[in-house]
Amino acid sequence: MSLEFLTVAMFVTLIVAIILGHPLAYTLAAIATLFGLIDNGFNIPMLFQMFINNTWGLMENYTLVAIPLFILMAQLLDRSKVSEALFESMYVVLGSIKGGLGLAVVLVCTVFAATTGIIGASVVAMGLLATPALMGKGYQKELTAGIICASGTLGILIPPSIMMVVYGGLTGMKETSVGNLFAGAIFPGLLLAGLYFTYILIRCNINPTLGPPISKDEASGYTAGQKWAMTLKSLIPPLALILAVMGTILGGVATPTEAAGLGAFGAVLLALFNRKLTWTVLKESGYATLKTTSMVMMLFIGGKFFSAVFLSMGGGDVVADLLIGSGMNEWIILFIMMFIVFIMGMFIDWAAILLVTVPIFLPIAIELGFDPLWFSLLLCVNLQTSFLTPPFGYALFYFKGVAPSEFSMMHIYRGIMPFVLLQLISIALLCLFPSLVTWLPGVFFG
């Protein structure tokens, strides 16, 4: 069989298997086994050796130790009700503005994203907490769904992010280390939150019936001093945790793995401070951490094996020759790569997309002369759309699972469309202003 035929057949088989609903981690490993045997003449010992070497390399990757620690931090914070106190204070402070409750959701999710990084926890927590408040004040169903789903996905981008840890562990490059990725993701994450904030503010001022303010009686029930006290009391604990985690990484005091351990310990202290540190909370948090970490690592093993087989049989060269050898402008090639990632995000989990595309696309981007850190963050912002794009956007189903029965999937689909467009606008802005990604890592790491 020709190399080109094997390359196309490998991806077509993957797509068909995903459509049929097979578990992704095992699908990746099984397809890698099948095509690896075809490519090496059914040399089973050699393929087994490749699998063992890749798996052993993953287990030795110290950076990946941060994954269970960040997940544990997120689980503890989810159960310590940090977001509830913050939303209650933002409800009072911003509620009198048109669209103010929607703005409060964005602000809470932005802070929550910088402490958890777990999409399911953010969307479910805000879905349960904010949906009754928004609907009670007369917010449009579509806008409510869009605000909560889109804001909840900020956790995958704003550091500390599990995606960045996986990406850094996958590439092993100094330019795309976890520290550089964390620093580079801060402005893109805040840019996206700012776009959401601006969109809600403008749209609700143009049409106040979409997001009416709270009543004057509710707004005037607190003095300015009480509002400040509520805000500071709810903001200081999570901000202190963010400073402890991100400050130690950016300051060069701790590695991401060490900072993750510090963050997990800080989450325990916050749970204790909020009087939520019980044996049940610890047990449930540990069990959820074990499940999520196992899922991520199984995806990592399957995806790494898939990439290893694909690259060993020359599939990466086929794709590179097809794109670079086409003679197209480098920006058109970049657009094609981003478009492929965007389409894959409609059907495949973000971790699998990283594991399949990064070993192929990153070398192409470097050969085209693009900054590897900038390209990496562009890809990560693109991957955030995978949580919102139908038919398999995870955030949509997380929200549907906790939303009131009057929310249909069509309400949710219509609601997220403007926010997907805002995500694409943010990618365009990062292309126009690369320093949004590269400036901060340069300040901290040179």
Q: How confident is the model at residue 121 (pLDDT cuts 50, 70, 90)?
A: low
Instruction: Give, in order, the Cα–Cα distances in Å from 35 to each of 42, 118, 152, 166, 320.
Output: 9, 34, 38, 25, 20
Q: What integer pLDDT is reported at residue 220 of this predicted model?
A: 63
Q: Write the burial class of residue 175 (CB in 10 Å: 0-12 exposed, 13-18 middle, 19+ buried).
A: middle
Confidence at residue 429, expressed as pLDDT on a 0 to 100 scale = 96
Please classify residue 437 by burial: count the beta carbons closer than 10 Å to its beta carbon, then call 0-12 exposed, 13-18 middle and 19+ buried: buried
In this predicted structure, the answer to whether residue 153 has a pLDDT above a threshold of 80 is: yes
Q: What pLDDT digit, counting tens, does each position of 2-31 carry?
A: 777 888 888 888 878 877 778 778 888 899
- Is 116 a residue whose pLDDT tops 70? no
What is the pLDDT at residue 354? 85
**pLDDT score of 120 more than 70:** no
- Residue 217 is predicted with a pLDDT of 66
**Segment 271-300, tens digit of pLDDT:** 888 788 888 888 988 888 888 888 878 888
Q: What is the pLDDT of residues 264-278, one digit of tens each?
A: 898 888 888 878 888
CA quadruple 182, 188, 192, 194: dihedral sign: positive
Per-residue model confidence (pLDDT) at position 418: 94
Nearest CA-CA partner of 259 in 282, 273, 241, 237? 241
The pTM assigned to this predicted structure is: 0.85
Q: What is the pLDDT of residues 316-366, one digit of tens each?
A: 777 887 787 777 889 999 999 999 899 888 877 787 788 888 888 999 999
